[in-house]
């Protein structure tokens, strides 16, 4: 499906997010105006997912706030490219992570790096799983909240769907149909090592607040590597 030349124009990406505060009570103190808004959001989650029906607003915050840019924060952004040796065999990828406790710094450094990438390679594509629906909307909204400028290539609200710089493996896996799958399921189907052996996505907040940021970073980088392997496997190439 894709050739080695195509991979030169791909930057693979994944992000990890957590609730903005360690507890619901801390959010209520810091953002009293958000309490009513979170109550509405929690009710939406209860209506959409049966296993959440019995959770209180406080429990729901711990469980689901990381999925909403209005209530969560970016903790890790990992990007990387597939490299090939002289025989066209994929080698260990070069992956860089922007991470820490200061979201403003994370986002600023990432956006500046992205601008540099676009300047050097205008046709570059960011590649990731479900990045159209989650990763990039989350990043852009958090950048706006933090007052961090974004490259014009990421102003998707001004672009037609086929003009954007994103290649989403969630869409690729549809192959023209309606149904897709999680990255973990695709990896299992294609016999690709899954990063879920390190930790689960739902554990990101707990790991971060317990001081295990390095573990969260490693998990994010492994997600990037897994997405690389999906694209390699779909291209009938050797995985990393």
> How does residue 194 score in pLDDT terms, banded at 50, 70 and 90?
confident
- Residue 132: helix, strand or coil by DSSP? helix
How confident is the model over 112-124, as pLDDT tens digits? 999 999 999 999 9
Region 147-176 average pLDDT: 92
Q: Is the model's pLDDT at 57 over the cut of 80?
A: yes
Distances 114 to 152, 170, 220 between C-alpha atoms, Å = 10, 22, 18
CATH number, domain 4-20+71-234, options 3.30.420.10, 3.40.50.1820, 3.40.50.2300, 3.10.105.10: 3.30.420.10
Region 144-169 average pLDDT: 92
For the chain, domain boundaries: 4-20+71-234
Give the pLDDT of residue 64: 95
Region 71-100 average pLDDT: 94
Give the pLDDT of residue 45: 94
Where do the H-state alpha helices sit in the chain? 4-7, 24-30, 35-48, 57-64, 103-120, 136-146, 169-172, 183-189, 204-209, 213-234
Q: Is the model's pLDDT at 10 over the cut of 90?
A: yes
Across the chain, what does the average pLDDT equal? 94
**Strand residues in 148-222 grouped as ranges (E):** 166-168
Q: Is the model's pLDDT at 154 over the cut of 80?
A: yes
Give the pLDDT of residue 198: 72
Q: Give which of 221, 222, 159 is closest to 187, Cα–Cα.
A: 222
Distances 97 to 20, 112, 185 between C-alpha atoms, Å = 20, 14, 25
Q: Is the model's pLDDT at 224 over the cut of 80?
A: yes
Residue that the structure tokens 């290649």 belong to: 167
Region 216-228 average pLDDT: 96
Q: What percent of the chain has pLDDT over 70?
A: 100
């Amino acid at each position: 499906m894709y050739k080695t030349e195509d991979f030169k124009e791909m930057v693979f990406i994944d992000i990890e997010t957590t609730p903005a505060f360690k507890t619901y009570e801390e959010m209520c103190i810091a953002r009293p105006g958000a309490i009513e808004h979170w109550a509405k959001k929690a009710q939406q989650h209860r209506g959409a997912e049966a296993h959440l029906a019995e959770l209180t607003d406080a429990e729901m915050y711990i469980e689901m706030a990381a999925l909403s840019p209005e209530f969560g924060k970016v903790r890790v952004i990992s990007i990387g490219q597939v490299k090939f040796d002289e025989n066209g065999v994929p080698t260990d990828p070069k992956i860089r992570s922007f991470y820490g406790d200061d979201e403003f710094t994370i986002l600023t450094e990432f956006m500046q790096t992205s601008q540099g990438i676009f300047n050097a390679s205008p046709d570059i594509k960011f590649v990731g799983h479900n990045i159209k629906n989650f990763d990039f909307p989350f990043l852009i909204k958090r950048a706006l909240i933090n007052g961090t400028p974004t490259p014009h290539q990421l102003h998707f609200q001004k672009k037609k769907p086929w003009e954007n710089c994103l290649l989403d493996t969630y869409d690729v896996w549809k192959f023209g149909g309606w149904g897709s799958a999680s990255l973990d399921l695709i990896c299992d189907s294609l016999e690709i090592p899954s990063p879920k052996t390190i930790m689960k996505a739902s554990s990101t907040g707990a790991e971060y607040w317990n001081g295990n940021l390095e573990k969260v970073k490693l998990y994010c980088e492994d997600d990037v590597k897994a997405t690389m392997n999906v694209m390699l496997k779909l291209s009938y190439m050797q995985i990393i």
